[in-house]
């Protein structure tokens, strides 16, 4: 019956793959379109009120964090990548991979760990008071933990691996001949870095820095816990506390403007940069061996980000998790784990399947329109989770109410809210948010399949779908598996969209960590935080293996 239906569709001149690809692109782009529509039709004059009251504060704090975290990640990631690529020193082989570990720690967990360590009742200040005989906070000065500066440190420690990964790859690909010529002309290590290494790696560094800045704009857990009012927290305040979705949408438009500016800046930087190899045979870079004090300084420089971004959070949270053994048996934690596996697994399968269908359909059809809309589907990754939550919930709620009214009129039974009252909205938000990851993996994997293989299958009578199942999928199964894992891990860590879209009394590991930490119960937040970190470590191991 399915074959007969397919024959009828083909006779009607309908390209199922092209239509399907366009439908997938429409679903992915719909939340951003909805945000734009809400912002243009807010229903009241909220914009001028926002501009005259809270918006300047939201915007100034966001810009400060963007610039400060951008500089922090750019310097940290570039310097560590240069040292790892160009020199041998104690621990370099281990540090090359240890520098990736902060990717496993969500930034909000790092914020909770830092606060627990440095707050007034924490071990550091308690030890200082005991050592020097101080009796209260009036006897000494200690930097404010919950501040913009602390937020910069936490976000910088969590996000520098984006710059490190891209910069290390760029340094590895540079021509050894240029460094040899510079060395013979008397250029020292510092001058070679600034005159050759840094300019050639600038596009990669700019790309990594732009990603870190976009993640900073979208962050909610760190800035909310540190009481730093940014545009993202403004969406929550304006929508949930003030009850004004139109005003929240207008703040979301400001966020999207900043994000798209960063994306355009990064692409412009790469477009203006052109570097070519001058020889056919490329000799690998020969690392220089550092000795004495310089060697240990290099070790310390590379170890410091690992200790701050991974060592501190894992030790503090791990110790608290061991002390709160009873929390591991809490049925609510087990339920949160089950919910996380359910929505994360469904999102990963749905996202990768849709991305594979879309990329394969675009390649198969060869038409201009599907190829034109393909880049549009990557915009969801640049949009913060709070923006996507707003763009999904408002139109989905309207559809949900109409659907419920239709079912009630037909059956006489009120089904309730089927879409927003379940985890469907959460899964959809994850799929839109991380569609770019799955699309990139599918596009890269399909591009490595020799065209002769599917052509041979089609000549033997296989349909397009049969060719995908029996030829492409066995070849690209490794890449598809990696994409499934990465989407799943990012879904597990996603906080703002989950907070906005989850049904009543529906917790994931991320929201349980946030909920306990918001009540200042860091010890109770430690066990779910360790589970989130464990999932993140799995992704980091896969990433390290693929970047050997």
Domain 42-273+297-318 has CATH 3.30.479.10: no
Q: In the chain, what is the greatest distance between 2 CA atoms, to the nearest angstrom?
A: 88
Residue 389 near residue 497, CB atoms below 8 Å: yes
Q: Residue 263: pLDDT above 90?
A: no
β-bridge partners, 495: none
In tens, the pLDDT along 384-393 reads 888 888 888 8
Report d(CA 265, CA 305) in Å as an integer: 27
Among 3-12, 127-136, 317-326, 488-497, whose mean pLDDT is lowest? 3-12
What is the token pair recorded at 283?
């000799």
Residue 231 near residue 217, CB atoms below 8 Å: yes
Percent of the chain with pLDDT over 90: 25
β-bridge partners, 87: 288
What is the token pair recorded at 263?
């994306």
Report d(CA 312, CA 303) in Å as an integer: 12
Report d(CA 157, CA 114) in Å as an integer: 11
What is the token pair recorded at 267?
């692409």
Question: Residue 276: what pLDDT?
Answer: 46
What is the token pair recorded at 520?
């200042």
Report d(CA 499, CA 108) in Å as an integer: 14
Question: Residue 98: what pLDDT?
Answer: 92
Residue 82 near residue 171, CB atoms below 8 Å: yes
Superfamily designation of domain 1-32+324-370+380-387+424-548: MetI-like (1.10.3720.10)
45 band by pLDDT with thresholds 50, 70 and 90:
low
Q: What is the mean pLDDT of the chain?
A: 82
Residue 239 near residue 220, CB atoms below 8 Å: no
Residue 484 near residue 492, CB atoms below 8 Å: no
As annotated, the residues of the chain forming the CATH 1.10.3720.10 domain(s) are: 1-32+324-370+380-387+424-548, 42-273+297-318
The reported pTM is 0.84
Among 212-221, 314-323, 467-476, whose mean pLDDT is lowest? 467-476
Give the helix, strand, coil percentages of the chain, each rounded to 5: 80, 0, 20
Question: Residue 243: what pLDDT?
Answer: 74
């Amino acid at each position: 019956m399915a074959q007969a239906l397919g024959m009828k569709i083909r006779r009607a001149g309908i390209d199922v793959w092209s239509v399907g690809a366009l439908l997938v692109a429409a679903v992915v782009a719909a939340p951003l379109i909805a945000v734009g529509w809400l912002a243009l039709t807010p229903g009241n004059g909220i914009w001028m009120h926002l501009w005259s009251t809270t918006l300047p504060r939201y915007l100034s704090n966001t810009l400060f964090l963007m610039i400060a975290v951008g500089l922090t990640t750019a310097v940290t990631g570039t310097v560590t990548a240069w040292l790892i690529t160009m020199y041998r020193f104690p621990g370099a082989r281990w540090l090359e991979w240890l520098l990736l570990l902060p990717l496993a720690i969500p930034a909000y967990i790092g914020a909770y760990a830092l606060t627990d360590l440095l707050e007034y009742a924490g071990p550091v200040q308690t030890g200082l008071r005991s050592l020097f005989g101080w009796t209260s906070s009036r006897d000494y000065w200690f930097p404010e933990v919950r501040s913009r500066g602390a937020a910069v440190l936490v976000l910088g420690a969590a996000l520098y691996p984006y710059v490190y990964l891209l910069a290390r790859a760029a340094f590895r690909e540079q021509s050894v001949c240029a460094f040899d010529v510079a060395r013979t002309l008397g250029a020292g290590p510092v001058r070679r870095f600034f005159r050759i290494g840094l300019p050639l790696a600038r596009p990669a560094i700019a790309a990594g820095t732009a990603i870190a800045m976009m993640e900073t704009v979208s962050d909610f857990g760190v800035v909310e816990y540190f009481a730093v009012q940014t545009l993202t927290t403004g969406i929550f305040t304006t929508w949930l506390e003030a009850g004004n979705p139109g005003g929240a949408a207008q703040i979301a438009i400001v966020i999207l403007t900043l994000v798209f500016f960063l994306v355009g800046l990064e692409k412009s930087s790469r477009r203006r940069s052109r570097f070519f190899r001058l020889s056919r045979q490329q000799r690998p870079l020969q690392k220089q061996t550092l000795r004495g004090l310089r060697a240990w300084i290099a070790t310390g420089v590379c170890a410091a980000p690992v200790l701050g971004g991974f060592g501190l959070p894992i030790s503090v949270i791990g110790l608290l998790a061991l002390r709160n053994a009873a929390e591991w048996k809490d049925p609510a934690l087990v339920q949160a784990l089950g919910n996380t596996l359910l929505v994360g697994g469904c999102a990963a399968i749905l996202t990768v399947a849709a991305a594979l269908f879309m990329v394969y359909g675009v390649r198969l059809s060869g038409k201009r329109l599907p190829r034109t809309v393909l880049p549009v589907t990557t915009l969801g990754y640049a949009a913060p989770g709070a923006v996507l939550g707003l763009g999904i919930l408002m139109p989905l709620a309207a559809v949900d109410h109409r659907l419920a009214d239709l079912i009630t009129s037909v059956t006489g039974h009120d089904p309730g809210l089927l879409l927003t009252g379940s985890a469907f909205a959460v899964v959809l938000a994850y799929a839109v948010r991380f569609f770019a990851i799955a699309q990139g993996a599918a596009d890269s994997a399909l591009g490595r399949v020799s065209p002769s293989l599917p052509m041979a299958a089609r000549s033997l009578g296989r349909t397009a779908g049969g060719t995908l199942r029996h030829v492409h999928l066995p070849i690209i199964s490794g890449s598809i598996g990696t994409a499934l894992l990465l989407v799943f891990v990012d879904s597990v860590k996603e906080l703002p969209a989950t907070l906005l879209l989850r049904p009543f009394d529906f917790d994931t590991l991320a929201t349980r960590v946030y909920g306990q930490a918001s009540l200042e119960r860091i010890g109770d937040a430690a066990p779910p935080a360790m589970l989130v970190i464990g999932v993140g470590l799995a992704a980091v191991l896969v990433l390290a293996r693929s970047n050997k």
